[in-house]
Structure 1
């Protein structure tokens, strides 16, 4: 036994791993039992490890406790006969009694769960919420923010997904090519959101969660290696993940605070990851298929290949955002588009572009809309309007780290525009 406990991020990873493996064994109908068992194992670890030390193999320990809890509950319920008839208990006991599923098996289970969660029987709006909660370990609040809705709607979506899957059995047979391709867009979307949460998290304790970025990349690479998974859109998704991950080391200061793009030390950007990202971007260009991920990878590439902030090819970035708008109507992209226009054509043009857009209600009062509006109004010399938006941005920031980043942006813009009087508290 050792004295070092698992971090919260490690617990999240273990949660996804255990849910995937045990559900692969038992089937989706027993998902609630699996989740209860995994939760019990996690709680047991939180209670015991600080007192007795962390086991030499934490993953195996968690698996054994979850398995024993699961089998104990199943044997007590009315489903005992069904469980024994299908020999599930024997399967669990014989396959992984030591919890030592290898990496390939774990990845296989995770991918199978991803595609199961994106089954056509699940309402489309419920697939993402259900997968992010069940398999990725996101909280309801995190999902609500990422999907631009409220907690109540997320609870409803997850419930609908569970109801839809209640009669589905997860079997060992591989998905048909048709099923695989039908579910692929939803799977890519889940991986994209997993990466997004890692790149700029709304978690109160950690503004960057690199383990989520790494997991999204790993699963995307496995997806691309599947017999039906080699697709330009998947390659573009991998490219944008790698290119953005390459910049992570430069996005925080020594104290862990977020830095503005113009403040970042580009020598800290990972050149090897940039090279890998460019390889996948080139790979994504085969054929005539073009997607939103191609646009976003192109934007990330423009930043990575620029020697400095002032030498950034903002014209290329503006073009990519214009094309992106034709693929998907994501209001947040409008904000980034406006900022790119401001850098390329001047803040007045960027502000005019933003003012022509009628934001949805959830965005109009958000920190994102307010922060960008404050920045552009300041740069256009309209200080009073800017201060009002700035105060809203600070008040609605979901975490302290994001609030501090908004403050940095305000201070930086004040310096550029020679505004020396800060807004009142």
Structure 2
């Protein structure tokens, strides 16, 4: 199990790097072959590492990527001297140099901005970026975007076809396109983190490797002065603040621990400080984003020494601000939960009754869980249990299912 987790972590950490480097060598027209090559490398590690993990796993992946480059050259009938002849900027870059840290980061930046190219349909951009940068499967993308897997497959196919037909270049955007493209890039990173922080994976509630990957990508963005703005710093703040709580979200058996029952001494202070400082920097820029508001909500939770001490009134105001910027079912549900915590169940119900669980796709169980919380607040135990049963039927994650079953069983004993 430990080796599998290590491989999964490295795959997430290396996938975007390897795809980006190979695309820089072979071009976007060979994207499908490149993705197959990366998958082959991952499959090879899965088999070879069963008995023994290499002393330097990341170096193993880099070497494997280089070897796959040679294989691809043969498959594409490329000239043996092709690499020496290729130009990537004003001068030729030696093949080995492409695996240096700065060149890898440059390739990754090019990849994520290419995936968010305006010639791609807006609906296709995020799915395409999650696939190429995060190595997400179609089902994972579907869960992150609240879509059906079939819809995601169509979007990925359409995006790849557009890349070829529109002859999209593998490059960073010019200054006049930067703001719009950066907005989409930050959204992709945000979604990668969310899938790690509250995963739809059938076994794991928290996937730290995805959270770490999102933090790493945001740090790469912030290395470039032209990408620094209020939104990019606010996103980094949000990711740090939420990452600080990861160690308290599950127990040693990977069971879910809700915010009310988390051991707050396990919240990681260095990340909290890093996030707080990043939010201060974000507030020094003229632009304002939803990430500013979400980071402010996270700080309110962190400031509370106990769950009872939470400033729910302030959090409600922040969620209402968030709703003005970005109205969706998840935010509406969050507002309903806060209203229940403020002992305002009727106001919460007015929100709940307007929502459709189908809008949440694979996360529809959240709607039924909130409805159960509403009826429990009213003291209507049977109603609460019935909605918990519906939530249990719809939840795909084992840890979440176990958590909901415990809640239901506790009510049955009352």
TM-score between the two structures when normalised by the length of structure 1: 0.87
Unaligned 5+ runs, structure 1: none
- Asked whether the 8 Å contact 1:26–1:88 carries over to 2, the reply is no
Which residue number corresponds to residue 266 of structure 1? Answer: 264
Matched residue, 2:40: 40
CA distance in 2, matches of 1:304, 1:105: 37
Within 5 A, what are the aligned runs for 1:49-60?
49-50=49-50, 53-60=52-59
Classify 1:26/1:280 alpha carbon distance in 2 versus 1 (closer, same or farther; 3 Å).
Answer: same
Tell me if 1:390 matches 2:384: no
Contact 2:198 2:206 in 1 (8 A): yes
Q: Equivalent residue for 1:290?
A: 288
In the TM superposition, 1:10-409 aligns within 5 A as: 10-50=10-50, 53-77=52-76, 80=78, 84=82, 87-88=85-86, 94-96=94-96, 101-167=99-165, 168=167, 170-171=169-170, 174-355=172-353, 357-359=354-356, 361-363=358-360, 366-409=364-407
Quick check: 1:335–1:369 contact (8 Å CA) kept in 2?
yes
SS of the residue aligned with 2:50? helix
C-alpha spacing 1:50/1:358, structure 2 compared with 1 (3 Å): closer
My pick for the range that moved more, 22-31 or 63-72, is: 63-72
Aligned-pair RMSD on alpha carbons? 2.9
- Aligned-residue offset at 1:244: 0.9
Question: Partners of 1:240 and 1:138 in 2: how far apart?
Answer: 22
Change in 2 beyond 3 A, CA 1:76/1:18: closer
- Give the C-alpha shift of residue 21 in structure 1: 1.5
Does the residue aligned with 1:290 lie in a helix, a strand or coil? coil
Q: Residue 243 of structure 1 contacts residue 301 of structure 1 at CA under 8 Å; is this kept in 2? A: yes
Q: Tell which has more relative contact order, 1 or 2 (C-alpha 8 A, sep 6+).
A: 2
Contact 1:83-1:89 at 8 Å conserved across structures: no
Q: Which runs of 5+ in 2 are unaligned?
A: none
Q: Post-superposition shift, 1:288?
A: 4.6
State the shift of 1:348 in Å.
Answer: 3.5
Relative to structure 1, the CA distance from residue 271 to residue 80 in structure 2 (aligned partners, 3 Å threshold; closer, same or farther) is closer
For residue 88 of structure 1, report the CA deviation from its aligned partner: 4.9
**Could you say if the C-alpha distance between residues 245 and 48 of structure 1 is closer, same or farther in structure 2, counting changes exceeding 3 Å?**
closer
For normalisation by structure 2, the TM-score amounts to: 0.89
Mapped partners of 2:92, 2:402: distance in 1 = 48
Closer, same or farther: CA 8–284 of 1 in aligned 2, 3 Å: same
Question: Structure 2 vs 1, CA of residues 47 and 7 (structure 1 numbering), >3 Å: closer, same or farther?
Answer: closer
